[in-house]
Amino acid sequence: MDQQDRIMDGDLQTLGLQSILKMLALSGKTGKLFVSSGPETLSISLRKGQIVGLHEDGVPQPDILGMLCLINKLDPPRAEMIRELSKGDMHVALAMLVERGWMNANEMQQRLEFAVTQSISHALRWVNGRFAFHRQLVPMESKLRPLDVDSVLLEALRQADEWEKIASEGVTQFTRTTVARWQPEVSNDVRSLGLNQESIEVLCLSNGELSLQAVALVLMAPEARIARVMAHLFELGLIEVVDTVLETELQQDLSNIIIKCQYTLVQHRNTTNVEQHLLGLVTTLSECINGLLIHHGTYAKSLRGRGHVPSIEIVRYLEGCFAQHLRTLAKQQFSILDTATFHYGQLDCTDILTLNKVVKGEQLEEFYWEAVQGLAAFLRVIFTELLRDEVGNSHTGRQLTVAWRIFLSEIDHDIQQYQFYRAQRKTQRRGYENIQPSALGIVPNWSAAPDNNGGFWSPDETRRRSI
């Protein structure tokens, strides 16, 4: 922008946002006001002293369509159609809803007005920062009807005052960027808790993806009031606050474990010897189990935020969580797991991995086969418990579950391959067919399980489904 178009600038400590907007309104200015504080920047478009548009830089546009679905004001098929046509633009999406009769024009105007007021209310609390006003053309295609500055400021100041009140009440854990999600133990039926409609809607929107700011926007309620509702839900044990930075690290760490285990699995597929193939599966499964145990020792909910936790405490925690599951599997189904033990928070499978020193032939193969089945079952138990504890029923949890199922499908492919080999061998021994079972790594280039299309998966196809 040309410097000659800038007709006013300064420091927010000298002239606050409220005074700036009143001055521009009284003089009937047309142009764009930029206000910044730290990394945050707000741009307000004015025409003849009235607000006709607003944009917050660095703040992603909330998925208004998805949020309307969560509170049963829009059905998913319609939301998906509008989402594709609007390309993520909230103003366009709301206009399309009005055009199709799925929202009335008054509600659209109320939502656009609330978004403006919400952003200005937040900026009114900025103490340090800069402002600049530039004369320039304002886009005519705005869906927002011009707003009176005094009316907007009156409501924005009221919302800002509410933040001051809840701060005095000690509700400081929740900010406009707070993301909350349902606790894993929460029942689907919460009507017995005596929650009012607003609290139920906030609970529905606490899905681990939406910020407090977005929740306030869709409900058209002051952010401070939403913070108070969230605090109440938190006290009831219905929601938890998401540490988004920690969760990103957690997701990356788990993804790395899955990728590493996929690589290990592929390396062991090159053998044509049955025992070596099964031993490779045992190795992959045990390494994956131990990778998950190390991960959980870092990200378990009860170990977070405590600074340095002594190693012995982490070991006791992990063994307390999973040792009983291992003993139960050994007692009920896979006795070979009795030879596996926990050692300093890791699963020690040395006795299984060195069985070839004391056992040979078909007996060794049977032991390996039982170990593969038992470790695969134990691996599923660990991941299920780990995910429930660390991320619960959230967007992150669903993403990780998809990646995990893809990896498990590769494990299942190798298991099915071996089962087919066993079936071939059994049939040959009974003399039903004059066939020779070929080496495991060579014969089946497909598994015994058909896919959804009625065909069979090849190893290459399985790899293409990887992360």
| Residue 153 within a domain | yes
pLDDT (0 to 100) of residue 61: 79
pLDDT (0 to 100) of residue 144: 82
Give the helix ranges, DSSP H, for 242-334: 244-267, 274-299, 311-332
pLDDT at 443 over 70: no
Q: What angle do CA 178, 181, 186 make, to 5 degrees?
A: 150
Does 231 share its domain with 278? no
pLDDT (0 to 100) of residue 190: 64
Cα-trace Rg, the chain: 30
pLDDT (0 to 100) of residue 186: 62
What are the CB-based long-range contacts (under 8 Å, 24+) for 49-52?
Answer: 49/24, 49/25, 49/149, 50/25, 50/146, 50/147, 50/148, 50/149, 51/116, 51/144, 51/146, 51/147, 51/149, 51/152, 52/138, 52/142, 52/144, 52/146, 52/147
Q: How confident is the model at residue 458 (pLDDT cuts 50, 70, 90)?
A: very low
Does 277 share its domain with 383? yes
pLDDT tens, 42-62?
A: 999 999 999 999 988 877 778
| Residue 90 within a domain | no
Does 254 share its domain with 186? no
pLDDT (0 to 100) of residue 277: 86
Does 136 share its domain with 274? no
Does 213 share its domain with 256? no
pLDDT (0 to 100) of residue 114: 95
Q: What angle do CA 240, 246, 251 make, to 5 degrees?
A: 100
Please name which of 229, 161, 231, 225 lies closest in space to residue 195, comparing C-alpha atoms: 229
Q: Is the pTM of this model over 0.75?
A: no
Instruction: Please state the rounded mean pLDDT for residues 428-440.
Output: 55
| Residue 76 within a domain | no
Q: Which of 65-79, 395-409, 422-436 has the lowest mean pLDDT?
A: 422-436
Does 453 share its domain with 437? yes
Does 118 share its domain with 265? no
Tell me phi and psi for residue 407, to 5 degrees.
-65, -45
Cβ neighbours around 447 below 10 Å, total: 23
| Residue 82 within a domain | no
Does 285 share its domain with 355? yes
| Residue 407 within a domain | yes
Does 227 share its domain with 209? yes
- Kindly report the CATH number assigned to the domain that includes residue 214: 1.10.10
Of the CA atoms within 13 Å of residue 98, those in its CB half-sphere come to 15
Q: How confident is the model at residue 467 (pLDDT cuts 50, 70, 90)?
A: very low
- State how far the Cα of 152 lies from the Cα of 154, in Å rounded to an integer: 5
pLDDT (0 to 100) of residue 17: 92
pLDDT (0 to 100) of residue 227: 93
Domain end residue (candidates: 168, 199, 218): 168
* Three-state SS at 157: helix
Q: How many independent structural domains does the chain possess?
A: 3
| Residue 66 within a domain | no
Does 52 share its domain with 17? yes
Instruction: Please state the rounded mean pLDDT for residues 341-352.
Output: 91
Counting residues of the chain whose pLDDT is more than 70, the rounded percentage is: 87
Cβ neighbours around 336 below 10 Å, total: 24
Does 294 share its domain with 367? yes
Average pLDDT of the chain, as a whole number = 84
The pair of structure tokens assigned to 403 is 């990646």
3-state secondary structure 52-95: EEEEEECCCCCCHHHHHHHCCCCCHHHHHHHHHHHCCCHHHHHH
CA distances from 299 to 90, 309, 323 (A): 36, 12, 19
Q: How confident is the model at residue 202 (pLDDT cuts 50, 70, 90)?
A: very high
pLDDT at 440 over 80: no
| Residue 18 within a domain | yes
Q: What angle do CA 5, 6, 7 make, to 5 degrees?
A: 105
Q: Which of 41-55, 158-172, 323-337, 369-383 has the lowest mean pLDDT?
A: 158-172
pLDDT (0 to 100) of residue 158: 93
pLDDT tens, 271-317?
A: 778 888 888 899 999 999 999 999 999 888 888 766 788 889 999 99
Domain residue limits at 331 = 244-464
The residue with greater pLDDT, 314 or 438, is 314
Q: How confident is the model at residue 109 (pLDDT cuts 50, 70, 90)?
A: very high
Instruction: Please state the rounded mean pLDDT for residues 57-74.
Output: 87
Greatest mean pLDDT among 204-208, 264-268, 327-331 lies in 327-331
pLDDT tens, 111-131?
A: 999 999 999 999 998 989 999
pLDDT (0 to 100) of residue 466: 39
pLDDT tens, 226-245?
A: 999 999 999 888 888 888 88
Instruction: Please state the rounded mean pLDDT for residues 82-103.
Output: 90
pLDDT at 375 over 90: yes
The residue with greater pLDDT, 140 or 335, is 335
pLDDT (0 to 100) of residue 438: 46
CA torsion 86-91-97-102 (nearest 10°) is 150
pLDDT tens, 356-371?
A: 888 888 889 899 999 9
- State how far the Cα of 71 lies from the Cα of 266, in Å rounded to an integer: 45
| Residue 335 within a domain | yes
Q: How confident is the model at residue 431 (pLDDT cuts 50, 70, 90)?
A: low
Please name which of 261, 254, 185, 209 lies closest in space to residue 400, comparing C-alpha atoms: 254
Domain end residue (candidates: 242, 262, 295): 242
Instruction: Please state the rounded mean pLDDT for residues 342-363.
Output: 89
pLDDT (0 to 100) of residue 99: 93
pLDDT tens, 383-399?
A: 999 988 888 767 778 88
